[in-house]
Structure formats: C-alpha cells, structure tokens
Amino acid sequence: MNRRGNIVSFRPDVRVLDATIRDGGLVNNFYFDDEFIRALYLANVKAGVDYMEFGYKASKDIFSPDKFGKWKFCNEADIRAIVGDNNTDLKISVMADVGRTDFRRDIIPRSESVIDMVRVATYINTIPAALEIVEYCHELGYETTVNIMAISNASDVDIDGALELICQSHVDGIYLVDSYGSLYPEQIARLSEKYLSYGEAAGKYIGMHAHNNQQLAFANTIESMSLGVSYLDATVCSMGRGAGNCAMELLLGFFKNPKYNITPVLRFIEDYMLPLKASGVVWGYDVPYLLTGRLNRHPSSAIEFIRDGKTDYCDFYQELLDRD
C-alpha cells in the first residue's frame, strides 16, 4: 500500500465535512433549534472545518414538513437565516437521496443559493438515477458528489461497474460509505485503493463516511486518509444514526495542519452537545450496534432494541442470526 504523508505531516488536499446536522438529524428527526445550528456553524468556521452539511433536500410530497424539523428540507431561506450570505471560508452542502428528492423543483441555481455542494446518496443499484441528479446540479453550478451507501453489501464486480459509470459523469467526488459500520480497516484500505484508482484516472476526489458500530469510524477514516482519500466526514460527538459517525473532535485532534483547531468544537460540546444528550437524544456505540455491524446489517433493529430499553443481547444476537 502506498501511504501518503505520515503522522507528522499534513496533506493540503484534505477537506473536513461536518455532517452533524444531516446524520445527527436522523436521530431527532431534524428538530434542532436555530441557536444550536448557528453555534455549530460558528464553531465550524472557527475550527477550520471545510464544509458543513445542513441536512437533506427531501421531497415534501414524500415527507411531511409537519413531521420533521426544517433541516430535512433545507429551504434556502432557512439556511440564510443562519448564515446570511455566508461570507466565510466554510462551504455549505446538502444531501439529496435518490428517489426521495424533488431536485428539479427544490434545487435552485447555485448563483442564487448559499449552498455550494450537493451530495447525492444512492445505493449501488440506483446509480443512473443518482447521476441524473448530479448532472442536473452540475449544470446549475454546484460541486457534486455521489455517495454509494451500504458498500459492504456490494460485490467487487458491482463496485467496479459503479465506479466506471460514475467516473464518466461530471461529478466532482465519490464517497465510500460504510453505512453499517461493518468494515475493518484492512477492508477500508482495499476499497480506498480501488476508489482512488478510478478517481485518480478520472480526476475525481474520494471521500470517506464511516459509522462507529465497531468503534472503528475514526480508525477507518484515518486509514482511508493515509492512502489518499481526501474528503472526510465527521460529526460532533459522533452524532448520527445508530452508533453514529467519526467524531469531529477525534479527527481534528489528529490533524497536524494548523488550519484546524479543536477548541471551538470542545466549546460547542460543552455548551450544546451535553445539553442535547441530557435532553434524552440517544446515539453512539453500544453492544447492539456492534452486533448488527459485525453481521453487516442495517442498524434499524438495534435502534429499535435500544429505543425499547432492552438489554437481552444474547437473544437479540440469536434473532439476528436467525434472519440469515
């Protein structure tokens, strides 16, 4: 393997994306108050974070605005109420899910928007639909990525086919997404090299989005980075669905680049994340997530198990095995 840089160097191509609202919103149905969002925005600016993802561009025909907080939809006006014209170095991203977005209606030209990037989340069998959104957003002037989810369930042949197809598009970046938190660093390394070989030939950067089911989100993120993956997702206190993500505070602590600063994030944790946790919002590594991660399953059954206050881990494990 071809490592780039070492523990004391820094790579100028690295970009950090804060996905706290977007992945964390899956925990609390996107009900964050504006003060929280504004404080996170300011913390990210001060911390040198490169992108902040505000949420989804979800279809209001599919998801009722009565049942979700506003960051499920990311109306232009709602983002502007936080950031104004965003006269900072922090770029703003939103995510669009294939099949769950009215992108033609809801995504306006970049010249009229404070949004800089649209990330398109897709399963491996819906990539043509993802590329339709990518091309639309690219035409409108946005930076775009394709985030292939649940990659641990895909075969090598399918991944090769997907990457070939994506590399023919105008997309700027391709994300490796370990949705189930089931991949070990050795597997992340192998996949990173595959993504990088396609990406480098086609001039696309590669990103990493990890989940923490086996306490490997941070390890997998820095493993992929050491091989050349450059866009790194993290969330404050790992906030995200189920076991959550790579912790922003761990990632910022790792960097040697003086551009990044952990202190504003520590302050944000003190002032905002601890009260959020104390209010009863639950996420983060726990035994049931280890079990779904190990078995390469969607975390939904573990989320339900924890929500129900259950602790009979043995029975849960047997149930998971019975579903094979």
Task: Determine the Cα–Cα distance for residues 265 and 42; give it in Å rounded to an integer.
Answer: 10
> What does the binding site for a copy of itself look like in residue numbers (CB under 8 A)?
1, 3, 6-7, 184-187, 212, 214-220, 222-223, 226, 247, 249-250, 253-254, 262-263, 266-267, 269-270, 274, 287, 290-291, 294, 311-314, 317
Q: From the CB of residue 282, how many other CB atoms can be counted at a distance below 10 Å?
A: 11
Q: Kindly tell me which of 90 and 222 has the beta carbon lying closer to a copy of itself.
A: 222
Q: Kindly tell me which of 60 and 277 has the beta carbon lying closer to a copy of itself.
A: 277
CB of 266 to a copy of itself, least distance (A): 4
Q: Kindly tell me which of 203 and 309 has the beta carbon lying closer to a copy of itself.
A: 309
Q: How many CA within 13 A on the CB side of residue 266?
A: 7
Q: Kindly tell me which of 6 and 168 has the beta carbon lying closer to a copy of itself.
A: 6
CA distances from 229 to 99, 213, 218, 220, 233 (A): 28, 21, 14, 11, 11
Q: Kindly tell me which of 93 and 182 has the beta carbon lying closer to a copy of itself.
A: 182
CB of 215 to a copy of itself, least distance (A): 5
CB of 3 to a copy of itself, least distance (A): 8
Lookup: tokens for 76: 């232009």
The count of residues in the chain is: 324
Q: Which residues partner with 118 through β-bridges?
A: 94, 144
DSSP state of 52: E
CB of 15 to a copy of itself, least distance (A): 20
- Give CA torsion, residues 301, 303, 304, 306, to 10 deg: 120
Q: Kindly tell me which of 114 and 219 has the beta carbon lying closer to a copy of itself.
A: 219
CB of 195 to a copy of itself, least distance (A): 18
Q: Which residues contact 324 (CB under 8 A, 6 or more apart)?
A: 295
Task: Determine the Cα–Cα distance for residues 217 and 213; give it in Å rounded to an integer.
Answer: 8
CB of 270 to a copy of itself, least distance (A): 5
